[in-house]
Chains A and B, each alone.
Chain A
């Protein structure tokens, strides 16, 4: 088993909003414990509105008002030592970001400066993070990096708007990998992309992970993408992790009713029998149901589910689930 590289302890991050004089609290990340290892692709799956983007922001220490850290901790393992990220200065955090942990946000077209050719963005990036490398040397580093990842170096001479959406996405991911960070966090990197282009993006992420031997944290609601690239998957619902297991276990033996729905609601080739989406909609994070947040939509709801949030039950060394249906082994 690999070493832990990023760990969270009962992480709580809420948005505190003032709406016409009334305070509203959005419980986006609600007591989340994660233990992410070196050299793995860790997937976080969940529908829109489950809090996964906020969780990523907390993981990369980008918590800014109205988002507040209400409780819990985030630890990085840097050079053999565990660092409490929540206690770091802004300058230390800035240095960690990009060298240790880099973030590819959703809709990452905005990362590339639209008035610079791609090589300009790469050059600026290298110059501000690798001392001594400027100008032509920086571009040479960029060219080698792209060639190594199977991307045509001629894209360096293009403006972002001249590239297709899929190519811009791959350029942004390549940029995030440039300084060989120990962790790359990608938020819905394949959403809105065509299926063949999506495959290229996933392939790129896999290549990078294999070359650098680092960790990729991949957030996407697309279970097909998770199945293709993740080693382990955590299922997130209404600000909480409800199940976590290896990819084989999650797809082969899903125990949480929500996980089962997520998988069963996907159409499969060769099978035209009726499939159903999860009935209803995810709850508002401002107005969570009591007990287990999934109970209003759960076909197996019991009385205890409406009153108390279930704790985690360990089914095996690599599989935990939080559901009253699942007893101790």
Chain B
């Protein structure tokens, strides 16, 4: 099987406002990509780019306006939300582990419940063994986990616990939505290294949604950069992030602060103050602040163009 999950022309339009003045925002605009088995695929971009909405559609929390999601070759038309995914091996972890767990419940109860709901063990001893196996896979011992409430864990530890719970059903795809944004920069490695290890040892695929390009570079195989609902560049992570082609990718890449005083930012940037203005633009949505903008950019949406292995949505590369 070459493609574990394939998203085709996925679109989501939100309608905001009152009866008198409605604004339609295309949060996800004709997005297509696929993830292979045993691959870490990053979906990267800043707030408001549509990456989380895309993930929510894949998980079935949100209905696409149009487009299809194909999992293991089985097509799912846009009209039917598909929650059965979670039993078939798609699990998720989210940004704030403290929001995932009820502060008044012991964390181990969630694990035992999951085991029971999915019929993963026939006895308590078997359940404990399974839980312990998954906890060890994320570097936590059963002893330091048993009987504790969420507040007794640090953010990083609790996030690893969330991953352990997601692994109970032996999923083939883990959707991780901003899993390290709330964790101190120095501790992020412990979590993303886990993704690498799980990929290598059990063939897990990860859809890694993030705005942190540095960890995306470190852990991913392929990456798609999203801007205001569109994928503007997509390909092997080495090429996209080391030799970025789209001006927005370049801006993002250059704006990552490096832990080296010799590599300080040199040029000042201008910031767009009202985001929704960019959403409603005709033509390329980045035209308002693109340093290489041309006349055609303001009126026409760019095509998806292949340059070597990389897909770029930019008039610069049109033939």
Complex: A81 Cα to B154 Cα, angstroms? 44
B273 is an interface residue with CB less than 8 A from chain A: yes
Q: Collect the chain A residues with CB atoms within 8 Å of residue B147's CB.
A: none
**Contact of A223 with B185 at beta-carbon distance under 8 Å, contacts A197-B271, A266-B214, A269-B214 already known:** yes
A272 is an interface residue with CB less than 8 A from chain B: yes
Q: Collect the chain B residues with CB atoms within 8 Å of residue A265's CB.
A: 185-189
Q: Collect the chain B residues with CB atoms within 8 Å of residue A227's CB.
A: 257-261, 263-264
Complex: A270 Cα to B244 Cα, angstroms? 13
Q: Please state if A247 and B214 are interface contacts (CB–CB under 8 Å).
A: no
| Cβ distance B185 to chain A, nearest Cβ, rounded Å | 5
A47 is an interface residue with CB less than 8 A from chain B: yes
Q: Please state if A48 and B257 are interface contacts (CB–CB under 8 Å).
A: no
A-contacting residues, B134-189, CB 8 Å:
154-157, 181-182, 184-189
Complex: A262 Cα to B186 Cα, angstroms? 6
Q: Collect the chain A residues with CB atoms within 8 Å of residue B241's CB.
A: 269
Q: Which of B154, B242, B269 contacts A199 (CB 8 A)?
A: B269
Q: Which of A203, A225, A261 contacts B186 (CB 8 A)?
A: A261
Q: Please state if B257 and A202 are interface contacts (CB–CB under 8 Å).
A: yes
B193 is an interface residue with CB less than 8 A from chain A: yes
Q: Please state if B255 and A196 are interface contacts (CB–CB under 8 Å).
A: yes
Closest chain B residue, CB of each to CB of A220: B185
Closest chain B residue, CB of each to CB of A166: B271
Interface readout for B81-106 with A: 1 if CB under 8 Å, 0 if not? 00000000000000000000000000
Most buried by B among A224, A269, A275: A269
**Interface band, chain A:** 35 or more
| Cβ distance B296 to chain A, nearest Cβ, rounded Å | 25
Q: Collect the chain A residues with CB atoms within 8 Å of residue B258's CB.
A: 224, 227-228, 268-269
Complex: A222 Cα to B185 Cα, angstroms? 6
Question: What is the interface size of chain B, counting residues whose CB is below 8 A from a CB of the partner?
Answer: 44
Interface readout for A209-242 with B: 1 if CB under 8 Å, 0 if not? 0000000000001111111100000000000000
B33 is an interface residue with CB less than 8 A from chain A: no
Q: Please state if B186 and A278 are interface contacts (CB–CB under 8 Å).
A: yes
Interface readout for B187-201 with A: 1 if CB under 8 Å, 0 if not? 111100100000000
Q: Collect the chain A residues with CB atoms within 8 Å of residue B242's CB.
A: 269-270
Q: Which of B46, B157, B259, B275 contacts A266 (CB 8 A)?
A: B259
Q: Which of B184, B218, B271 contacts A272 (CB 8 A)?
A: B218
A137 is an interface residue with CB less than 8 A from chain B: no
B256 is an interface residue with CB less than 8 A from chain A: yes
**25 contacting pairs across A/B (C-beta < 8 A):** A47-B184, A165-B47, A166-B271, A195-B46, A195-B212, A199-B269, A221-B185, A222-B185, A223-B259, A224-B258, A224-B259, A225-B257, A227-B261, A228-B264, A251-B261, A265-B185, A266-B214, A267-B188, A267-B214, A268-B259, A276-B190, A277-B187, A277-B190, A278-B186, A281-B154
**Contact surface of A with B, Cβ cutoff 8 Å:** 47-49, 150, 152, 154-155, 163-167, 192, 194-200, 202-203, 221-228, 247-248, 251, 261-263, 265-270, 272, 274-278, 281
**Contact surface of B with A, Cβ cutoff 8 Å:** 46-47, 154-157, 181-182, 184-190, 193, 211-215, 217-218, 241-242, 251-253, 255-261, 263-265, 268-271, 273, 275
